[in-house]
Amino acid sequence: MTATDVLLVEHPSDDIVVLRLNRPQVRNALNLQVRKQLAEVVLRYGADAKTRCLVITGSDTAFAAGADITEMAGDGPVEVMVRNVQQYGQTIMNCPKPVIAAVEGFALGGGLELALCADIIVAGDGAKLAFPEVKLGILAGGGGTQKLARLVGRQRAMLLLMTGRMFSAAEALAMGVVGEVVPAGQALTRTLELAREIAAMPPISIQQIKEIVNTGLNAPLEAALMLERKAFQLQFATRDQKEGMKAFLEKRKPNYEGK
On whether the CB atoms of residues 122 and 194 are closer than 8 A, the answer is yes
Out of 113, 171, 193, 211, the active site residue is: 113
- Taking the C-alpha atoms of residue 259 and residue 250, their distance in angstroms, rounded to an integer, is 20
203-216 vs 239-249: helix crossing angle, rounded to 10: 110
**Strands of 128-130's sheet in order across:** 62-64, 106-108, 128-130, 167-168
Mean pLDDT of the chain: 94
Answer yes or no: 222 catalytic. no
pLDDT (mean) for 234-253: 95
- In this predicted structure, the answer to whether residue 204 has a pLDDT above a threshold of 70 is yes
Closest by CA position to 151, among listed 175, 173, 171, 170: 175
State how far the Cα of 176 lies from the Cα of 67, in Å rounded to an integer: 23
Higher pLDDT, 1 or 36: 36
- The crossing angle, in degrees rounded to 10, of helices 203-216 and 221-235 is 170
**Side chain identity, residue 245:** M
Yes or no: is domain 203-249 CATH 1.10.12.10? yes
What tens digit of pLDDT does each residue of 63-76 get?
A: 999 888 888 888 88
Q: What angle do CA 4, 10, 11 make, to 5 degrees?
A: 145
Q: Are 87 and 38 in contact (CB under 8 A)?
A: no
Ranges of each domain in the chain: 2-199, 203-249
Q: How far is CA 61 from the centre of its chain?
A: 19
Mind listing the pLDDT tens digit for each residue in 115-158? Answer: 999 999 999 999 999 999 999 999 999 999 999 999 999 999 99
pLDDT higher than 90, residue 98? yes
Percent of the chain with pLDDT over 70: 98
Band (pLDDT 50/70/90 cuts) for residue 4 is: low
Q: Which of 40, 71, 104, 133 is catalytic?
A: 133
Residues 13-26 pLDDT 10s:
999 999 999 999 99
Q: Is 133 a catalytic residue?
A: yes
Average of per-residue pLDDT across 211-237: 95
pLDDT value of residue 1: 45
d(CA 110, CA 23): 14
Which residue, among 127, 191, 93, has the nearest Cα to 199 in the 3D structure? 191
Q: Which CATH architecture has domain 2-199?
A: Alpha-Beta Complex (3.90)
